[in-house]
Amino acid sequence: MLSFLENEAEPMAARVETINGNVAWLEMNLPVQYRSLVRIELSHYLLLGEVFCCRKHSGPYCVGVELQHSVSTGDAARIASELRSGRHVTSSAAGHYSPGFAIA
């Protein structure tokens, strides 16, 4: 699932083709605007990034996202809990994206 950080547009279905280094390639039925800030929801991770490419092939659109941050869903729940309680969020919980992160 892909959602937009800048507006209240409905989330869009997306299929992750590959994630390599700091780039995710998605397959989508609808186009996504260049430079959109997006959130990609996977089963165990949330990824934040910026769209740098959207092109149509013979079938679906191929969308390239430069990844900026990632956080595991377990860490995301803990961070949300800390924020709600007013506690300081630890840097290890922030989940800053590191190059080389890969999901098969």
CA–CA distance, 86 with 74 (Å, rounded to integer): 19
Q: Global pTM? A: 0.73
| Single-letter residue type at 49 | G
Which three-class secondary structure state does DSSP give residue 30? coil
- What the block records as the tokens of 18 is 């590959």
- Indicate the domain borders of the chain: 2-94
Convert the pLDDT of each residue in 27-73 to its tens digit.
999 999 999 999 998 888 889 999 999 999 788 999 999 999 888 87
Convert the pLDDT of each residue in 65-80 to its tens digit.
999 988 887 777 777 7
